[in-house]
Structure 1
């Protein structure tokens, strides 16, 4: 049976205050590979990604400009567009090939100040180890050597609304959800949404509209997460959360900031998700356990620092 609908998070388009500093951080520290640099923009990919880019940096501020999700085939765009029109209340428009460099035509939504794009194709440049009898990793890796973009967490006021939109229009499903308290109908504070078998491709947290909390890069295991933290400390990169395990998703994590103040994460572990797996519910009084399973504390910056 052919796959349909959204396949995965494809790209994060973020703003930075100084491109030279950003390039040093994302290329030398995270180990991402530049594919194109032009007009104040830098396109980057991980060594195990085959499409032209997963991160686009643009000079001129901080935060997120937009995010893109790849669908499996072009016909999925028509299906999703009809569902969005039936859903109503969410501005939707078609985008043309070329509006985003190396990206096909697609759909664009706006919700809570965020621009969300869907596309069906991107120029392929290939993984660094090739696909014929490949080695397990490239021999030349810089810094952390992040192989792939994993997920993003965005802030907005209407978490209930965007969760419903992603479920009803884009066929995502929630793996975990945080609610205010144990009362029936308690408002949703955060939601972790999956398009496939990951615990989340995207998450949303109640906060100011149009703000970025973090975008995350997958590493192979806990040892890689701690080694990455060591490297970041050696290079004086400011950490936001030292290596620990999340109770939420069970993922292993380190949070840190790029030179512009955008929060990054290295992430590993987590469980395999399926659409019929029951959604895990957390209450706000247990956020400490959900964020930092070992210390069960909430860092001062987690709910207050956005970009």
Structure 2
């Protein structure tokens, strides 16, 4: 499938309570590569197999959570097209200048009805993955540092009016609804999984009374063995685990959820299926989320922390 509009998740800026603790965790435990620091005090990272300069940015703040989540688009003409389409839809946008984030071009910002700040951009400095461009090996030494995900993959956001957010992403930005969970009365949707590619999801939402909340940022691993290795590394470093290792019924991903030192949840996962534009959304009942194995297929139950703890 040729992706011509929104390409993929590009970066997440995460608030941490102690910067150096955050650097130690994201660099040495999670195994992201530090790629720079700016005069705002932000620290930049990328996963070992990512090609662009950064995908995760952390800054110190008095409360944990997420500042914004961004998607990379095909080119600057596409960025202008989406900016106009968002304005025509009735959403106010703003432009962040090139260079405001290290090695990143102009970004178009807008706020979803859920209270989350979303960005689109077309340009970010290509730095490669430290493997040769001619006849490369399948991995290099960076793939063995810490948990070592191959990419920042998606996020789950909690906030109100997720139906309106879904409409914007589908009708304006060209996303596809892949899976959904119904409310207990089956009259509405309590959770949504949407894709801008052929992945099972690039962003997801859960209906929540407070706006702008982060549930997790997710990092992809290559295999179930790597997920189990991640569990060992978490235990060795006293990382508190929320759920897993287990499998989701929803998206079929094999997963661990845990918390960084500031209380931001993150996910390490592998698997999931591919979706295409002719696929129909999968529907889960609220009961299916728990006893049907939607969340935790091995234990077939809901976890209170998963539903209630957000930053």
TM-score by length of 2: 0.94
Find out whether 1:72 has 2:74 as its counterpart. yes
The 5 Å alignment of 1:12-51 reads 12-38=12-38, 39-51=40-52
Give distance in 2, aligned partners of 1:59 and 1:42: 9
Find out whether 1:6 has 2:6 as its counterpart. yes
Per the alignment, residue 237 of structure 2 pairs with 235
Find out whether 1:171 has 2:166 as its counterpart. no
User: Which SS does the other structure have where 1:302 is aligned?
Assistant: helix
1:150–1:218 CA contact under 8 A, matched in 2: yes
1:182–1:283 CA contact under 8 A, matched in 2: no
1:192–1:200 CA contact under 8 A, matched in 2: yes
- How far 1:181 sits from its partner (Å)? 4.1
The 5 Å alignment of 1:48-67 reads 48-60=49-61, 61-67=63-69
Q: Deviations over 1:159-202 (max 9, x none)?
A: 1110111000100001101111464xx22111111011100111
Q: Deviations over 1:15-43 (max 9, x none)?
A: 00011111111111111000002332110
2:223–2:271 CA contact under 8 A, matched in 1: yes
**Unaligned segments of structure 1, at least 5 residues:** none
Give distance in 2, aligned partners of 1:2 and 1:252: 27
**Unaligned segments of structure 2, at least 5 residues:** none
Note the aligned Cα RMSD (angstroms). 1.4
The 5 Å alignment of 1:243-258 reads 243-258=245-260
Per the alignment, residue 117 of structure 1 pairs with 119
- How far 1:96 sits from its partner (Å)? 2.1
Per the alignment, residue 298 of structure 2 pairs with 294
Per the alignment, residue 147 of structure 1 pairs with 150
Q: Which deviates further from its counterpart, 230-239 or 105-114?
A: 105-114
1:177–1:192 CA contact under 8 A, matched in 2: yes
Equivalent residue pairs, number: 304
2:8–2:202 CA contact under 8 A, matched in 1: yes
**Segments of 4+ moved more than 4 angstroms:** none
Give distance in 1, aligned partners of 2:141 and 2:174: 39
Work out which of the residue numbers 273, 282, 285 in structure 2 matches 1:283.
285
